[in-house]
Structure 1
């Protein structure tokens, strides 16, 4: 199971803190008021330089949540310029992703904002064999951002774990689970044991400063590696 760290601000010191303690990938943001961290991330013009500095500062892959509405997204040219500078993936809600994203050079992580129990939706939102002849789905991962804002920070339960297991079974891409709920390192072990593709820790469990992010990353890294061993 991969360990992603969602940064509460686009700052080099936070990125270095997470990378130094074993993060497999980092996520930065633009064009969004981020509920969990309380941060308002600016436009492409406002955040571009910070994102480029982060890409240059760390050795692990860096990806971008590009916006919270279709209207706010950077252009294809802007996103392609970031890819040329080393940005590896885009992570966006399926309902906010234009179809032209499919032709971008980045890896794509498609996020679901709910799971009704109907298995057709996660399957068809992640089952995309393009261009023709491709041997695997175009979607790299499926982010399970399925909990409501009212549930943020609440304890992670057996019910939540099994609900995610159902979603994982029917999505046609590895499941990426964010810490909308307070997923503990022990919970992370159970996610790893059932084949979850990735855990993305964010402000709910990491805090907002470099010291707390480093400590949390190290703790979750240790828990995941213990299962792998």
Structure 2
């Protein structure tokens, strides 16, 4: 559970959500200073517009990615509304060396939360309320992904109302919070996430582009990591 440890130890942690399952992009992210890497299977991804294949189709890629990343934790979105990895496949992922999983809580099978190996990072969406945060605090969640932006807000600038919501969640959830770049968060704005009490920022397609090359990925990672190191 390396990601959980990083979030507890670092002021702010840089997680990179790859826009496509591509080892060259993962290598670029690592060169740019990514402290964790996340990929997808079994889902359509709104921000990138990509459909990611099944777990079986991505199994060899995942093994290669985990080997490439070494001590850098690798995570997976293992499914969505239409499909999800089975419990046996979850156990296989644990044996493979996967470090964490992330998925919307409303899509997450209960058996995923039985893992004693993986960092558990369910995501709340724009329908969350204060009762949700009370339940999160009492839950087995390790990290809370705050995917609270409605679809129509994707790619728009970060505003102060967003920061107030992130502050409120971080103060009340009782778990380390991770902010995905559903909004077009600029690297210099990572400081505001830190000041809001957030423990990680996860950059993805909204920041890096839907079809970025390795240089674009490395450049975006470097910009965010530089700000994080200055905190």
**TM-score after normalising by structure 1:** 0.90
Contact 1:52 1:82 in 2 (8 A): no
- Of 125, 136, 150, the match for 1:113: 125
Q: Which residue of 1 aligns with 2:3?
A: none
How many residue pairs match? The answer is 216
Cα-Cα RMSD:
1.3
Structure having greater relative contact order (Cα 8 Å, sep ≥ 6): 2
- The CA distance in 2 between the partners of 1:222 and 1:161, in whole Å, is 21
Q: Which residue of 1 aligns with 2:215?
A: 211
Aligned residue for 1:39, secondary structure, equals coil
Contact 1:143 1:176 in 2 (8 A): yes
Contact 1:115 1:167 in 2 (8 A): no
Q: Which residue of 1 aligns with 2:198?
A: 196
Q: Which residue of 2 aligns with 1:77?
A: 88
Contact 1:155 1:183 in 2 (8 A): yes
How far apart are residue 163 of structure 1 and its match?
Answer: 1.2
Q: How does 1:135-150 map to 2 (within 5 A)?
A: 138-150=140-152
Q: Which residue of 1 aligns with 2:22?
A: 11
Contact 2:170 2:198 in 1 (8 A): yes
Q: Which residue of 1 aligns with 2:225?
A: 221
How far apart are residue 18 of structure 1 and its match?
Answer: 0.6
Q: How does 1:1-229 map to 2 (within 5 A)?
A: 1-59=12-70, 60-69=72-81, 72-104=83-115, 105-115=117-127, 118-128=129-139, 138-207=140-209, 208-227=212-231
**TM-score after normalising by structure 2:** 0.89
Structure 1 residues 30 and 126, CA gap change in structure 2 (3 angstroms):
farther
Q: Which residue of 2 aligns with 1:135?
A: none
- The CA distance in 2 between the partners of 1:226 and 1:114, in whole Å, is 31
- The CA distance in 2 between the partners of 1:115 and 1:157, in whole Å, is 19
Contact 1:126 1:142 in 2 (8 A): no
